Amino acid sequence: MIVLGSCANDKVILDRKYTVSYKSLANVEANLLSLDIYPINSKNRTPVIIWVHGGAWSGGDKNNNIANKIRLFHSLGYTLVSVNYRLSSATPAGKKVQHPNHINDLADAVSWVYKNIEQYNADKSKMLIMGHSAGAQLVALLASDASYLAQRGLSPTIFKGVGAYDFTKLLEIGDSEVAKNYQRVFGNSKTVQTSAISYIKNNKSLAQFWLFAERGSKDRKNILANIIELLLAEGVSVSKIDANGLSHAEANRNIGALNEKLMTNAVVEFLETAFK
């Protein structure tokens, strides 16, 4: 059963998927401004995990690689919310989407979850946000630059923890398709404006538990090392998964996969610690 729209006046049936429009904008496909809620039947309100997909800010969907995560998080007693946001695709509509559209969409989605998730037997005081690739950039930025949630009357302190898997670089110069995509996504925005690195120092609103997956190029690893160093200097607890034996896609796809231990066990331990 899928219900489009708020269920404020309806009785929620647990263990079913609900698709909700967290906002609407003229000439924007409704699916891009929606989120999926996977509540579970529990006598007590459950912790909440918000998941943000990757796709170079230009593709991807909240349904991608979600089945294993639903199974894993439900087995742990957690409600899962998977979020969509506008994409900077090569389509005429997508070319109009640039930073900060993506992060503002995510902030609106998080605001909706915080204000409404208790309808789904979940506990807004126990909320954690996670993302992969471009989603990792978005969740880290939202959880470090407090201005986005502040505009919605909230603070990053609503997050018990942050999980960011395999950061995507934020700058590439040249004529490659990757460089063209960055230009389409970020326009004239500077890397300093779009990276969590710029907002960690002396930040009193940081979540106290962060988890990262490290793999890929030297540039990716240097970005991650810088972020971890800054977080540790602020007294934040940081865990790191050595995912160098995995591909970019596997670092996401393997979470919750049957008999998978590297990503899954680390995620389980992180969640149990953050939600204590």
Q: Residue 3 above 90 pLDDT?
A: no
SS3 25: coil
Nearest by Cα to 117 from 105, 130, 126: 126
Query: Does 210 or 190 have the greater pLDDT score?
Result: 210
Please state the rounded mean pLDDT for residues 250-259. Answer: 96
Q: Are the CB atoms for 206 and 232 separated by under 8 Å?
A: no
Handedness of CA 97, 99, 100, 102 (dihedral sign): positive
Domain ranges within the chain, ordered by starting residue: 38-274
3-state SS of 221-275 is HHHHHHHHHHHHHCCCEEEEEECCCCCCCHHHHCCCCCCCCHHHHHHHHHHHHHC
Q: How many helices (H) and strands (E) does the chain have?
A: 9, 8
Question: Which percentage of the chain shows pLDDT scores above 90?
Answer: 77
- Number of Cβ atoms within 10 Å of the Cβ of 190: 11
Q: Residue 9 above 50 pLDDT?
A: no
How far is residue 47 from each of residues 76, 109, 123, 128, 257, measured CA to CA in Å? 10, 17, 5, 8, 21
Average pLDDT in the chain: 91
- Number of Cβ atoms within 10 Å of the Cβ of 240: 14
DSSP state of 97: -
Q: Are the CB atoms for 94 and 17 separated by under 8 Å?
A: no
Q: Residue 255 above 80 pLDDT?
A: yes
SS3 55: coil
- Number of Cβ atoms within 10 Å of the Cβ of 29: 12
Is the CATH number 3.40.50.1820 carried by domain 38-274? Answer: yes
Which pLDDT tens digit goes with each residue over 53-105? Answer: 999 999 999 999 999 999 999 999 999 999 999 999 878 888 899 999 999 99
